[in-house]
Chain A
């Protein structure tokens, strides 16, 4: 009698997992991040702002709107992502990025507190659309090296770069 109930529950849980908009986030414990101690509140703010940056990035790439990057990206990262979106627009391409899981490790906090570096092993689904046709969908697992810098109200992504392995 319990078996059908278990099956239904499992199915329901699977559907919920698929339909959830929030990626699974795991943060490696950080004993030391170099020359400056990292307060828990700073760590939480950095992670919150970084995950928000992924949401902005997804929206910007899907809608081909570079302005959506403004609140969360700056410097080199913003310039490069903006250039990619312009290329997409020119070629009639859109890309959907859906981050499913982040495995984060904060690795460096600079002595004056003006930059923080993290490594993110992220799993995401990527869908390429040429005009309105879906070209392909791919599940990708990639390591990112990310540098964030503080601004008036939040941490912004300054370097956002995938690396092999």
Chain B
């Protein structure tokens, strides 16, 4: 409430000033300006004055001579937004609003790619969002084409070009059928940004084990464990062997090593042995002691 009253009182005080002091007309400047470009402001009259350029993005203050042109060098005014130019000289105050817009050339991309690791063969599994900025970190609001490219050692390259809307462009891509690292590249003009996506095998699709006797024990070994696209499951993936015999059950968890899991279990005649990894169940063996 205090701040609103301050404004109210401030406004009344300024309104009480002689009308002639607030007469506009002597401050000439462009209504719109591209960020980073030079700016010249022409004033009228004679004598010393102070020029203020004020906005959220920048504040400038210069001592000037009325009637002369004040020059701002390229790069002086670089932050996009609305500005108020105020010229205070002697008894008069003149002001004018103008806009600084982002430069047209992309200078930097804010590129968010998700996820960084995902299973192979996932439709629209990878998303990419790009915000396009100019060299001064202003969001470029003019429509700008952004090209997205996903490529890796395996799988065909995917390319899409998307136009920005309010400075942002987004797309979705499929993960490749083969595991491996993929480069996800976003490009707008000369600006480029790359993200690395790890494509890992999907869920196991085939799990088969075989058994051979070794004295009083059985040696159990799986075939290489793969997903539905033939990608080997990573070493360390846990495979569970379960033996059921005479109403009792015992389980051995073994990590994959070199793509296969191997273990020993007691060779009970009539035992049932099953194998599983995660929620995927493989084959079952009923062991009979050979005579």
Contact = CB atoms under 8 A, between A and B. Distances in A.
A2 B11 CA distance: 32
Given A21-B1, A95-B54, A164-B101, A112 B114 contact: yes
A84 B57 contact: yes
Interface in B236-261: none
Contact of B172 (A19, A111, A117, A160): A111
A101 interface: no
12 contacts: A35-B172, A84-B59, A91-B61, A93-B59, A110-B168, A127-B7, A135-B86, A136-B95, A137-B11, A140-B97, A159-B131, A162-B99
Contact of B58 (A18, A84, A112, A163): A84
Contact of A137 (B10, B60, B80, B81): B10
Contacts of B166: 107-108, 117, 119, 145
Contact of B52 (A34, A117, A128, A147): A128
Contacts of A79: 137
A96 B52 CA distance: 15
B112 interface: yes
Interface in B47-65: 50, 52, 54-61
Contact of B3 (A96, A130, A138, A161): A96
Contacts of A98: 3-4, 7
Contacts of B59: 84, 87-88, 91, 93, 95
A80 B81 CA distance: 11
B262 interface: no
A24 interface: no
A10 interface: no
Interface of B: 1, 3-8, 10-11, 13-14, 32, 50, 52, 54-61, 79-82, 84, 86, 88, 93, 95, 97, 99, 101-102, 112, 114-115, 127, 129, 131, 133, 137-139, 141, 165-168, 170, 172
A145 to B, nearest CB: 6
Contact of B139 (A35, A81, A88, A145): A145
Nearest to B113: A112
B56 A81 contact: yes
B170 A110 contact: yes
Contact of A114 (B7, B61, B82, B112): B112
Contact of A126 (B3, B80, B84, B170): B84
Given A112-B127, A147-B131, A162-B56, A128 B112 contact: no
B14 A136 contact: yes
A114 B86 CA distance: 40
A80 B101 CA distance: 15
A87 B54 CA distance: 10
**Lowest 8 A-B CB distances belong to which pairs?**
A162-B81, A111-B127, A112-B114, A164-B99, A162-B82, A87-B59, A110-B129, A142-B82
Contact of B168 (A62, A108, A142): A108
A145 B137 contact: no
Contact of A111 (B3, B50, B129): B129
Given A19-B4, A20-B1, A138-B95, 18 more contacts: A21-B4, A79-B137, A84-B79, A91-B61, A95-B54, A96-B3, A98-B3, A98-B7, A117-B168, A125-B11, A135-B88, A136-B93, A138-B84, A140-B97, A145-B166, A161-B102, A162-B81, A163-B141
Contact of B54 (A20, A21, A126, A159): A126
Nearest to A95: B54
Contact of A115 (B54, B60, B129): B129
Contacts of A164: 32, 82, 99, 101
B138 to A, nearest CB: 6
A147 B248 CA distance: 61
A58 interface: yes
B287 to A, nearest CB: 50
